[in-house]
Amino acid sequence: MIEVDLKIKPNYYNLYKDRNFPLILEKGIEGEWKLQEEGSIINLLDQEDEYVGRGYYGIQNKGIGWILTNKENEKIEERFFQKKLITALNKRKDFFYNENTTCFRVFNSIGDGIGGLSIDYYNDYFLFNWYSEGIYSFRNIIYKIFKKLVYYKGIYQKKRFDDNGKYIDDDDFVMGQRGEFPLTVKENGVEIAVDLNDGPMVGFFLDQREVRKTLMNKYSLNKEVLNTFSYTGIFSVFAALGGAKSTTSVDLANRSLEKTKEQFELNEINPEKNHIIVEDIFEYFSYAEKKSLKYDVVILDPPSFAKSKNFIFKADKNYGILIKNSLKIIKDKGLIIASTNMEKMDIQKFKDHIKEALNKMKKNYKIIEEFRLPDDFKINDSYPEGNYLKVLFIEVY
C-alpha cells in the first residue's frame, strides 16, 4: 500500500491540530503534490514534521480524503477497521431487537470513525454505501471483517462515486443470498417497500424516521396534507395512517406514481382519499392557488439541487421560494414542515431563509418542533457539517 507524507499549511494548523477536523482539504496542503492511486495512506505533518493525523486519499465532494486516526502508532489495517465496526454495532445493539423498526443506520461515516462509508440495515440485509474510490479500495478487508460480526441474509452496495457525477449503475449484490424485491421493512410499525438493487436509491430515507413518527402521531389527524417532492410518498403514508383527511403527493418523476401506489397498497390505505400527481411542484403551486385549494400541512423536503423544465432549484438559494408558494395555499394556523439535507447550509442559515420569506409575506410564525439526525446517525463533533439534516415544524398564522 502506498503511503505518503503531506504537510499542512501553517494557517490550517488550528483546524487540524486544535479542532481535529477530519476532512482533508486540498487547499490546506502545502506545495505541489500528486497521488496516482486513491486509497493511498496519507500522513499529515506540520511544518516541523510533527505528526498530525493519518488517513486515506479519496476524492469526495470538497475533500481529498479523510483522517482516520490522530494516534501516530495506529495503522490503517484490519485491526483498525475491526475495532471501528465492532464499536458501531454495539452502539446500535438495541435497534436490532426492535421489532417495530427493522431498518436503520449501522455505521455513519466519520461519525463512527471511517469517513466515506455508511452501512444501513434492512431486515437482515445490509447496504454498504461507498462515497469514493479511496474508501472502496478497502472493501475486501472491511467485508471480510463485517461478515464475521453479524448475521445477514445478503449484502448489497452502492458505489456513489464517478468522474462524471453519475451513479455507477450495475449489479449491487455483493454476497449472501439475493433479496426478493421489493423487500418489506418496518419503521415504527409502518410497512415500507424497499429495493436494494435498483439504482442509487432504495425507496426512502432512513434519517427522517423521527420526523415521520411525529407527523403521524401529532399532526395528521383530520388534516389535509400536501407532500411536495414526494418521491415514493412515505410522508403521505405516515400522514394517512395518522388519520389525515386526505393526502396529495406531488413529484416530477414518472416512477413516483407506481412507487407511491406500492407503498399505499402495502399499508392498505384507501387510494380515493390519497392523490398522487406527477408534476413540477412549482406548476402545482400555481394550479392549487388558482383553484383555491388549501392545506392544513405542507411538507417541503426537496433535494439540495433539482432541475425541471422551467427552473433550477438550489436549496441554499431558493428555499424561500418554496416557503412563499406554500403560504399561498396553506390554511390559517397551518403547518409547514421544512426540511433540507444540504450539508453546507447550517441550521441558522436555514432558519434565516425561512424567516426572510415569512417576513416578506407578512406572516407570523412559530417553530414548534425541530429535528436533526436521529440516534443511529452518529456524528463527529469535530465535523458539525456531518449533522446535515435540518427539519422545522413551523406554525403560520
Out of 90-104, 196-210, 309-323, 366-380, least confident range: 309-323
pLDDT confidence of residue 39: 97
Considering the chain, what percentage of its residues have pLDDT values greater than 90? 91
pLDDT confidence of residue 209: 98
Average pLDDT, the chain: 95
**C-alpha cell recorded at residue 334:** 397551518
Out of 79-88, 164-173, 275-284, 303-312, least confident range: 164-173
Q: Quick check: bond before 384 cis, omega within 30? A: no
Cβ neighbours for 338, distance < 8 A, ≥ 6 positions apart: 300, 319, 322, 323, 350, 354, 391, 392, 394
pLDDT tens digits, 77-121: 999 999 999 999 999 999 999 999 999 999 999 999 999 999 999
pLDDT tens digits, 143-167: 999 999 999 999 999 999 975 656 6
Strands 190-194 and 183-187: antiparallel
Q: Mean pLDDT across the stretch 187-208?
A: 96
pLDDT confidence of residue 169: 67
**C-alpha cell recorded at residue 74:** 495506529
First to last CA, the chain: 61
pLDDT tens digits, 309-325: 778 889 999 999 999 99
pLDDT tens digits, 43-60: 999 999 999 999 999 999
pLDDT confidence of residue 312: 87
pTM of the model as a whole: 0.96
Q: Mean pLDDT across the stretch 228-257?
A: 97
Q: How many angstroms separate the CA atoms of 16 and 24, rounded?
A: 9
pLDDT greater than 70 at residue 174: yes
pLDDT confidence of residue 54: 98
Q: Mean pLDDT across the stretch 215-234?
A: 98
Is residue 181 a contact partner of residue 174, using CB atoms and an 8 Å limit?
no
Q: φ and ψ at 258, to 5 degrees?
A: -70, -35
Cβ neighbours for 343, distance < 8 A, ≥ 6 positions apart: 61, 385, 386, 388
pLDDT confidence of residue 330: 98
pLDDT confidence of residue 234: 98
pLDDT confidence of residue 267: 98
Rounded alpha-carbon distances, angstroms, from residue 360 to 297, 323, 338, 363: 21, 11, 17, 8
Domains of the chain: 3-69 (2.30.130.10), 78-188 (3.30.750.80), 204-396 (3.40.50.150)
Q: φ and ψ at 218, to 5 degrees?
A: -125, -25
Is residue 243 a contact partner of residue 215, using CB atoms and an 8 Å limit?
no
pLDDT confidence of residue 167: 66
In order, the DSSP letters of 169-229 are -S--EEEE----SSEEEEETTEEEEE-TTSSS--SS-GGGHHHHHHHHHHS-TT-EEEEES
Cβ neighbours for 175, distance < 8 A, ≥ 6 positions apart: 143, 147, 154, 155
Q: Mean pLDDT across the stretch 292-301?
A: 98
pLDDT confidence of residue 120: 98
What type of residue is 121? Y
pLDDT greater than 60 at residue 18: yes
pLDDT confidence of residue 164: 62
SS3 349: helix
Considering the chain, what percentage of its residues have pLDDT values greater than 70? 98
DSSP code, position 14:
I
Q: Give me the helices (H) in 32-175, please.
A: 78-91, 93-96, 133-136, 139-149
SS3 258: helix
Q: Give me the helices (H) in the chain, please.
A: 13, 78-91, 93-96, 133-136, 139-149, 209-218, 234-241, 255-266, 281-290, 315-327, 347-360
